[in-house]
Structure 1
Amino acid sequence: MKAFLSSKLFKVLFALGVIVIAIGSVMPGKQLPSSLPWDKALHFVGYFGLGFLARMGSDRRPAWLLMVACIVFSLAIEIAQMFIPNRGFEWQDLVANALGVVSGVLVGILGKKLLITHTKA
């Protein structure tokens, strides 16, 4: 159980999350599936996962720094979308991403505390 919950696993999952979000975010708009559920919810969920994995995979970096790094990544993606056909910068996407990151990091903090308490018992 301890090996499954190692920070190395979460680091790998975080890196994969960054890659998946980056690839999905730079696809031209016409290549996106047309039956996507509410766009902002997808932004929130994707960046929630990224924030959660960032917190769970990092033992030394403060939570605020992880939040800033993930939000800056989100901003860079939104700026890049200005140059992609049928995509564009949206402040609402950035807000949904930031709320997802903050929520994910906070849940990650709680998750780490619960795991530490559970493994000591």
Structure 2
Amino acid sequence: MRPLPRPLSWKRLFWLALAIIAFLALMPWTQELPKPFRWSDKLNHFAAFVVLAWLLMAAYRPGWLRSWGLLVAYGAGIEGIQYFLPWRSAEWADLGVDALAAMTGLILYPFFVWTVNKILSIMPPYKIDNEGQ
């Protein structure tokens, strides 16, 4: 499998995603979700940590075990901060979903690489045309 190109944009996307997830996880949330949608919190956690796993591997390639440990530590940090915020609550279930999602993202990472490489191979090369300016 051909590795992903390592443009600076993977690192930017990773740090942007990390910041957005932290912001959303720590901001005040006053509304209670309707009963059929209460499970969506776990889906949000799952999707966020799958994407974080992909971006972390694409940006830094730290290895599977280290990536998983870093992502679980990030999730634990968020839950730890939420414990002290009066408008949020920390849940072990959230941390469990974060850990499971990080592992799932790492397992599916080769598929992510294959998909991105396939898309890049179909797209015409990007070039800047300075003619006519």
TM-score normalized by the length of structure 2: 0.72
Question: How many residue pairs get matched?
Answer: 113
- Report the counterpart of residue 53 of structure 2 in structure 1: 51
Gaps of 5+ in 1: none
Sequence identity percentage: 24
Deviations 1:57-107 (A, max 9, x none): 123x21110110011000000010011123111011011111111111222
Query: 1:111 Cα shift?
Result: 3.3
- Shift in CA distance, 97/7, structure 1 to aligned 2, threshold 3 Å: farther
Please state whether the residue corresponding to 2:49 is helix, strand or coil. helix
Contact 1:56 1:109 in 2 (8 A): no
Q: Which moved more, 1:35-44 or 1:75-84?
A: 35-44
Q: Which amino acid aligns with 1:50?
A: L
Uncovered stretches (5+) of structure 2, i.e. residues with no partner: 122-133
Name 1:9's counterpart in structure 2.
Answer: 9
C-alpha contact (below 8 Å) 1:67/1:102 kept by paired residues: yes
* 1-structure distance, mates of 2:95, 2:81: 13
- Equivalent-residue separation in structure 2 for 1:7 and 1:112 (angstroms): 14
- How far, CA to CA, are the matches of 2:89 and 2:12 in structure 1? 29
Moved more, 68-77 or 84-93: 84-93
Partner of residue 62, structure 1: 63
Instruction: Show the 5 A alignment for 1:1-121.
Output: 5-30=5-30, 34=33, 37=37, 38-59=40-61, 61-112=62-113, 115=117
State how far apart, in whole Å, the 1-side matches of 2:113 and 2:7 are: 10
Aligned counterparts of 2:112 and 2:87: Cα–Cα separation in 1: 39
CA distance in structure 2 between the aligned counterparts of 1:65 and 1:46, rounded to whole angstroms:
18
Q: Structure 1 residues 111, 29: CA separation in 2 closer, same or farther (over 3 Å shift)? A: closer
> Structure 2 CA distance, aligned partners of 1:69 and 1:42?
19
Q: TM-score, normalised by structure 1?
A: 0.78
Out of 12-21 and 81-90, give the one that drifted further: 81-90
Letter in 2 for 1:77: I
CA distance in 2, matches of 1:62, 1:5: 17
Larger radius of gyration: 2
SS at match of 1:29: coil
RMSD: 2.7
